Amino acid sequence: MESKNSVYRTEDFSGMEQRFRTQLINSMPGIKALNLVGTRSAEGEENLAVFNSIFHVGANPPYLGMVIRPDSVDRHTWQNIQATGSYTLNSVGEGIYRQAHQASARYERGISEFEAVGLDTQYRDGVTAPFVAESAIKIGLELQGFHRVECNGTLIVIGKVVYVEIEDALITNDGSVDLVKAKSVGSIGVDGYVGVNWLSRLSYAKPDRETVTLSAK
């Protein structure tokens, strides 16, 4: 039997039930990497939030980007980044994804999400913001700039990588980080979580060369 397809056009979205629309639009792009963002206010209050919008900007110098929802309401993560210029990215593994999900709750300012969800803070020299001790991959960043998206007020924040800490067993000979071995978790929509598995690694793509399998996983 032929499958049926749902078709939506621009005018359909405004009439959708809010929760349905949010899940639909958020999950359509596919599985996204999950990170916990650690920050600290100018007064020393620790904050932890879960993000699935981290992306690569450049390798030399090393820059990473992050999308933050409009700051028309209190965004403690963004306020802390503006105040100190420092923030951390911390990988989410299978052992802590439930705590990461709970960190998305809207806790009042002054309440540490680290304590609320049961994760430990860790500090490193040269990085003001706290890391998640339980994370296998820890990245410290300094704010370089941000861009406001005019159509909806969303912020694109750019940070320079100033500190990296990764378990030795997760780094391959060519520098790749083995997220499968790290048991990293990805997200689908706003409340779905999946593990990751290797299919293979392929050779660098060139127009005049056939792609070959470097290693089957």
CATH of the domain at 164: 2.30.110.10
pLDDT, average across residues 30-49:
95
pLDDT of residue 93: 97
- 207: in domain: yes
Residues 180-195, mean pLDDT to the nearest whole number = 93
Q: C-alpha distances in angstroms, 199 versus 9, 113, 142, 202, 216? A: 34, 36, 34, 10, 7
In a domain, 7, yes or no: no
Instruction: Look at residue 44 in the predicted model and tell me its pLDDT.
Output: 95
CB of 133 within 8 A of CB of 119?
A: yes
Total domain count, the chain? 1
Domain that includes residue 203, residue range: 30-216
pLDDT reading at 194 higher than 70:
yes
- The CA distance from 133 to 124, in Å, is 11
Per-residue pLDDT, 201: 86
Q: Is 80 exceeded by the pLDDT of residue 72?
A: no
At residue 202, the pLDDT reads 87
Look at residue 52 and tell me if it is in a domain: yes
Whether residue 9 lies inside any domain: the answer is: no
Tell me: pLDDT of 120 over 80. yes
User: 181 lies in a domain?
Assistant: yes
| pTM score | 0.91
Residue 25 lies in a domain: no
Mean pLDDT of 7-31: 91
In a domain, 13, yes or no: no
Is 21 part of any domain?
A: no
